[in-house]
Structure 1
C-alpha cells in the first residue's frame, strides 16, 4: 500500500462506518469493510485515539482513519489500486 496521509470527506452510516469518501475530486463508494481496528495514538505526540478501516471501494483498497470523539477528522492513510 502507498502511504497518503491526506484529510478527506467521508459519509458514514449510523454506526459510524465509512460508506463513501472523496479523494482528489473523485467520490468512491465503499463496497466492503475488510478489516477494522482501534489505534490508541502516540500520546507523547498528542495523537488522538482513532478507529481504522481497510475498505474496498470501486477497484481499490484503502485504509481510512477517523479520530475518536465529536467532530473527528477522517483521513486516507494509504491506498492500493
Structure 2
C-alpha cells in the first residue's frame, strides 16, 4: 500500500527491459528512471562458493552515467 518511486539509470539492453517492466508491473513510479542509449545496465553476480566466500563480478554500466539535474530534484 505504499507509494514507491525509482530514481536511477539503466542501459538500452535486455537487463534494462527486465528491470523496467518488473518495476512497472509492481506499480513503482519510474518517471525519473533514465534509459541511456549505448550503455549497458549495471549488474552484479555473486558466486557463492562451497566455503561461503562470495566473490562479486560487477559491471558498473549505466550507474556511472546517472545524474539528477537540478530541475528534477523537486520531483525526487
Larger radius of gyration: 2
| TM-score, structure 2 normalization | 0.24
| TM-score, structure 1 normalization | 0.24
Hey, which of these two has a bigger chunk of helix by percent? Answer: 2
Hey, which of these two has a bigger chunk of strand by percent? Answer: 1
